[in-house]
């Protein structure tokens, strides 16, 4: 009698109970994974929105390796172009978010001729760019140069550059008077930092490396100040007032600037080319330079240097 009552109960209650359980499982699945119902309508949704998010984009940013040339010249005339005394080929690899700087000492003899720095004064920025492009073996897209007044004004208008000075620099000729440690350099100070070769046993090689290091420090300063998109335009205005440019528009500079500002300075290598003895004070390209240039040329990132 008891067993029969259980059977009747199961017969009556079982199917509806299973149906309810099945419906609950299906609904749970819909809620959990957001499966749409027929006709594309969502029956159950959990509507929560992410608390923070960001989006940043610049149209036309380069996606290939970019090579460009930055040259400091020694003209004291605010409108003049003198000897190319600070020569730096910069490569930016957008995919790797990395960059490299090849520093070329001013006394380097290129192609068996005299010092490379005179080509800027005698042939102009176009010829100088072509010479450096042939020497390094990379297609230099554009180049910029600035003189003493342009450089100091540019740094002062930027508000100075914080630089971590590695070694004592006390040199009357260039005007340095820096102890090791973090220093805020104004325009004349940054120029002195770039010109000092007497404070180092390696002379001009250390000076040339310092110039590349100053470029990286400047980038770090811009990143730390978080200038934003409008601030980048102000920086480009500052740059434009104090440099001569070849083969580049401000739109292109803006796109490149936005890209460079995403690169961690730790991912930028700064290498002075190897040099050997030459005639007089000339420096001839040294052993291993072909390997350095090949490493630089392939993707703009120095893997083995």
| Other CB atoms within 10 Å distance of the CB of residue 250 | 14
Contact 94, 109 (CB under 8 A): no
Closest to another protein by CB, 262 vs 303, is 262
Distance in Å, CB of 181 to another protein, minimum: 33
Smaller CB distance to another protein: residue 4 or 57? 57
Judged by beta carbon, residue 238 or residue 282, the one nearer another protein is 238
Alpha-carbon distance 162 to 183, whole Å? Answer: 6
**Which residues fall within 8 angstroms of residue 152, CB to CB, at 6 or more apart?**
186, 187, 188, 190, 191
Nearer to another protein, 3 or 53 (CB): 53
Shortest distance (Å) from residue 82 CB to another protein:
21
CA angle (53 as vertex; 49, 56 as ends), nearest 5: 140
Closer Cβ to another protein, 251 or 303, answer by number: 251
Query: What are the structure tokens assigned to 153, written together?
Result: 């004004």
Phi, psi torsion values for 271, nearest 5 degrees: -130, 130
Given the complex with another protein, which of 149 and 232 has the nearer CB atom?
Answer: 232
Distance CA 42, CA 36 (A): 5
Q: Minimum Å distance from CB 255 to another protein? A: 8
**How far apart, in whole angstroms, are the C-alpha atoms of residue 251 and residue 263?**
19
Q: How far is the CB of 260 from another protein (least distance, A)?
A: 14
Q: Nearer to another protein by C-beta: 89 or 239?
A: 239
Residues lying near another protein in the complex (CB under 8 A) are found at 31, 43-60, 228-234, 236-241, 249-251, 254, 258
With beta carbons less than 8 A apart as the criterion, state whether 177 and 198 touch.
no
Report the distance separating Cα 300 and Cα 150, nearest Å: 28
Distance between CA atoms of residues 148 and 131, nearest Å: 23
Residue 88 backbone dihedrals phi, psi, to 5 degrees: -140, 120
Taking the complex as a whole, the smallest distance from the CB of residue 55 to another protein amounts, in Å, to 4
For another protein, the closer of residues 56 and 79 by Cβ is: 56
Alpha-carbon distance of 145 to 242, in angstroms, equals 9
Minimum distance, C-beta of residue 227 to another protein, in the bound complex (Å):
10
Q: How far is the CB of 185 from another protein (least distance, A)?
A: 23
Q: DSSP secondary-structure letter at 273?
A: P
> To the nearest whole angstrom, how small is the minimum distance from the Cβ of residue 245 to another protein?
8
Q: Could you tell me the two tokens for 64?
A: 């290939």
Closest Cα to residue 87, out of 112, 107, 65, 113?
107
């Amino acid at each position: 009698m008891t067993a029969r009552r259980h059977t009747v109960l199961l017969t009556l209650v079982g199917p509806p109970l299973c149906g309810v359980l099945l419906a609950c499982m299906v609904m749970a699945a819909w809620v959990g994974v957001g499966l749409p119902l027929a006709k594309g309508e969502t029956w159950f949704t959990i509507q929560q929105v992410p608390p923070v998010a960001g989006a940043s984009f610049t149209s036309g940013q380069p996606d290939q390796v970019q090579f460009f040339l930055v040259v400091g010249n020694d003209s004291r005339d605010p409108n003049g172009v003198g000897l190319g005394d600070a020569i730096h080929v910069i490569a930016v690899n957008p995919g790797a978010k990395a960059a490299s700087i090849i520093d070329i000492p001013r006394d380097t003899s290129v192609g068996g001729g005299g010092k490379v720095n005179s080509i800027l004064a005698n042939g102009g920025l176009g010829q100088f760019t072509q010479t450096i492009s042939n020497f390094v073996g990379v297609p230099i897209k554009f180049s910029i140069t600035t003189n003493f007044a342009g450089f100091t004004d540019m740094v002062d208008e930027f508000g100075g550059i914080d630089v971590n000075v590695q070694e004592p620099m006390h040199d009357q000729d260039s005007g340095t008077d820096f102890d090791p440690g973090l220093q805020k350099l104004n325009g004349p100070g940054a120029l002195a930092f770039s010109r000092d070769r007497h404070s180092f046993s390696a002379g001009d090689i250390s000076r040339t490396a310092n110039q590349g290091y100053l470029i990286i420090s400047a980038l770090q300063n811009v990143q730390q100040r978080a200038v934003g998109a409008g601030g980048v335009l102000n920086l480009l205005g500052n740059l434009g007032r104090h440099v001569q440019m070849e083969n580049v528009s401000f739109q292109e500079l803006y796109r490149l600037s936005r890209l460079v500002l995403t690169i961690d300075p730790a991912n930028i290598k700064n290498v002075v080319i190897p040099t050997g003895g030459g005639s007089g004070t000339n420096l001839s390209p040294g052993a291993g330079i072909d390997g350095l240039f090949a490493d630089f040329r392939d993707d703009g990132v120095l893997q083995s240097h």
